[in-house]
């Protein structure tokens, strides 16, 4: 027996073992990810409810969504509003919080813990807490506003103020992104700041010219994950609307894409229509992500 056949036997053996070890994942992937994904694509072209055989309707669901469904437009525009405002604000907020927490001061660990804590509060509990903070008559926010002679708006009770309130709640829980920025800040070489300082750069110039470009890969990562997360915003709006009101109450101001999709699928049992909604969301997220990735060479700096 030559060396070549021995080697190929070994390779085959290793391949078999490799397959054996990876089989649970492959089976899980095929059954619980690939199959449901492909099935939902098929259902999006059908009139599918619960157990009745799906009836093929071609592009009807997509045509109805894009041409006749006013609530779809409302849900999409509400969601885009959150993506356009909450994501950039969240990035800025997380970045400056990380800068502050990166300062070498006493009690640094305590501050870091305090700013991270809201992230570990479950979304439902956090939302209920904010409903109290923003109570227009009894909430802490109202008391703060009163001290400067202002009256609290209705916040979650008003179609004008509900989304800003939601954004405020989102900024409160930027701890994870702050930690990512903190880690990135540790990787910025101190010599850069030292030489910039020798050249006469002030704090703002150093932040803008050194820190921002050096942490830009993390900014891209946070931007993409935040955009995906915001497109899927659900729990907070679901809790705020409570039971009894129309979905996305008050007055559809919190009718986000995922809320609309959930109602179509699991409340009205229009699974085919909900599948079409899911695929449109997938395409939107994919296009936005691709645009960000493709254009990132212009504003993301990789040291290597």
Partner 1 sequence: MVFWPEWGGKDADALQVQVDKWAANTGTTVEFLPIRDHTRMIASMSAGNPPDLLMTWDANAVGQWGFEGVLRDIQPYIDQAGMDLSMYFPIGVASGNLMGIKQIGLPLTNYITTILYWNKDTFAAAGLDAEKAPETWEELEELANKLTVVENGQIKKMGYSPLVGQVSHPTVYAYAYGGSIWSEDRRTVTPEDPANIESLKFCRRFYEKYTTEEMERWDSSLGTEADAPTYPIYTGELAMEVLGEWMPTYFDQVKELNLNISGAYLPHPASKPEVKGTMGANTNPLVIPTNAKNPDAAFDFIRFISEPENSAEMCVIVGNASPVVEGLKLQIAKTTQPLYKEILEQIWAQGQIKPMTINSPIGSLYNDTYARYRDEVVQDGADPEERMLALKDEIQAELDAALDKLGI
Rank residues 107 and 122 by Cβ distance to partner 1 and give the closer one: 122
Judged by CB under 8 A, the chain residues 228 through 267 that form the site for partner 1 are: 242-247, 249-252, 263, 266-267
Rank residues 155 and 257 by Cβ distance to partner 1 and give the closer one: 155
| Number of residues located near partner 1, criterion CB under 8 A | 32
88-92: long-range contacts at Cβ-Cβ below 8 A with a sequence spacing of 24 or more?
89/167, 89/171, 90/170, 90/171, 90/174, 90/177, 90/222, 90/226, 91/177, 91/219, 91/222, 91/223, 91/226
* Of positions 15, 96, 138, 299, contacts partner 1 by CB under 8 A: 138
Rank residues 152 and 211 by Cβ distance to partner 1 and give the closer one: 152
Question: Per CB under 8 A, does 151 bind partner 1?
Answer: yes
Q: Which stretch binds partner 1 (CB under 8 A): 13-21, 152-160, 195-203, 204-212?
A: 152-160
The H-assigned helical ranges of the chain are: 3-29, 35-43, 60-67, 70-101, 108-120, 123-133, 140-147, 162-172, 175-186, 190-198, 203-206, 212-214, 216-231, 235-241, 257-262, 271-295
Question: Per CB under 8 A, does 156 bind partner 1?
Answer: yes
Q: Name the DSSP class of 47.
A: E
Q: Which stretch binds partner 1 (CB under 8 A): 16-24, 132-140, 219-227, 291-299?
A: 132-140
Question: Per CB under 8 A, does 68 bind partner 1?
Answer: no
Rank residues 2 and 149 by Cβ distance to partner 1 and give the closer one: 149
Half-sphere exposure of 257 (CA within 13 A, CB side): 24
Question: Per CB under 8 A, does 31 bind partner 1?
Answer: no
Question: Per CB under 8 A, does 112 bind partner 1?
Answer: no
Minimum distance, C-beta of residue 142 to partner 1, in the bound complex (Å):
9
Burial 218-236 (b: 16+ CB within 10 A, else e): bbbebbbebbbebbebeeb
Judged by CB under 8 A, the chain residues 42 through 61 that form the site for partner 1 are: 47, 49-52
Distance CA 172, CA 273 (A): 35
* Of positions 123, 129, 135, 213, contacts partner 1 by CB under 8 A: 135
* Site of interaction with partner 1 (CB under 8 A): 47, 49-52, 135-138, 151-158, 242-247, 249-252, 263, 266-269
């Amino acid at each position: 027996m030559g060396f070549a056949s021995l080697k190929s036997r070994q390779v085959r053996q290793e391949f078999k073992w490799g397959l054996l070890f990876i089989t649970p994942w492959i089976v899980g992937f095929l059954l619980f990810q690939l199959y449901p994904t492909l099935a939902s694509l098929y259902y999006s072209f059908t009139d599918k409810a619960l157990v009745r055989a799906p009836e093929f309707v071609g592009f009807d669901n997509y045509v109805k969504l894009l041409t006749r469904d006013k609530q779809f437009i409302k849900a999409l525009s509400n969601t885009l509003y959150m993506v356009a405002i909450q994501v950039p604000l969240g990035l800025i907020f997380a970045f400056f919080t990380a800068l502050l927490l990166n300062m070498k001061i006493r009690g640094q660990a305590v501050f870091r813990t305090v700013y991270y804590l809201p992230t570990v509060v479950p979304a439902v509990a956090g939302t209920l807490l904010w409903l109290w903070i923003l109570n227009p008559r009894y909430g802490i926010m109202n008391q703060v506003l009163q001290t400067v002679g202002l009256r609290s708006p209705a916040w979650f009770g008003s179609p004008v103020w509900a989304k800003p309130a939601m954004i405020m709640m989102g900024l409160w829980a930027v701890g994870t992104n702050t930690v990512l920025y903190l880690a990135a800040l540790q990787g910025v070489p101190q010599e850069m700041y030292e030489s910039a300082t020798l050249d006469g750069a002030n704090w703002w110039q150093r932040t803008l010219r050194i820190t921002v470009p050096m942490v830009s890969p993390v900014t891209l990562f946070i931007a993409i994950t935040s955009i995906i997360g915001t497109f899927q915003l659900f729990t907070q709006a679901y809790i705020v609307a409570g039971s009894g009101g129309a979905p996305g109450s008050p007055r559809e101001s919190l009718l986000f894409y995922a809320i609309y999709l959930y109602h179509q699928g699991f409340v009205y049992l229009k699974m085919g229509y909900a599948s079409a909604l899911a695929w449109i969301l997938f395409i939107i997220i994919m296009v936005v992500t691709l645009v960000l990735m493709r254009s990132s060479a212009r504003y993301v700096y990789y040291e290597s």
